[in-house]
Amino acid sequence: MNWAILIGGLGAMYGFFLYVVAPDREFRQEMTRAEKVAVASGQTVTKIQKGSPVLIGHNKSYNQGPLRIKPGKNGKPVFEPFGDWKQVRNTGELVAEWTYTGVARETIERIYHPDGSLDVLSYTVPAMLNGESVRETRLVYFVIGQPADTLVVHHWFLKHGKEVKTSWSYDAQGKHPVPEGWKFQRF
């Protein structure tokens, strides 16, 4: 599975993950002159980043959260999102939120329905696969209208950033796999 395709597809569907994939270009575009001067002189800048509005369906939304900007090699700034970020519609509704875990740009994401109920939860955990240490990303889909009830879980097993296995189950631990020939249907 190509993460860019997955994230792009989910982003198109939900309008989130915008900073997880390739944020540096937008972060760089939104640096003030004072921030550029401070970073160029070797200082670290910490700020609350409010991204440019993006269009999701017929609504505009923006992403907001804490960001560290450090001097990097060759004079290029290094951007480190951290803590809790939110995507909010201009009308004030919460679309999604994610927490940076401190492992690279790994996050815990929560995506919400317009009524505010939880739709999807995504997180990564260490795992063992065929005796090897890997990272497992779990995308947990909840029953629409019943956010405490798991519908299905998509598991991705990654080693050095490359997928080595993918599977579906009815539980987060993968102990109850979906039947052979099962097709994901959500909407």
Which amino acid, 84?
Answer: D
- In sequence order, what are the beta bridge partners of 122? 109, 139
In what helix (H) or strand (E) does residue 136 lie, and over which residues does it extend? strand 132-143
Q: Compute how many other C-beta atoms are within 10 angstroms of the C-beta atom of residue 79.
A: 20
Q: Which two tokens stand for residue 146?
A: 């019943």
Q: What is the pLDDT of residues 52-95, one digit of tens each?
A: 787 766 678 888 999 999 999 888 899 999 999 999 988 888 99
pTM for the predicted model, two decimal places: 0.75
Higher pLDDT, 156 or 19: 156
Q: What is the mean pLDDT of residues 149-156?
A: 93
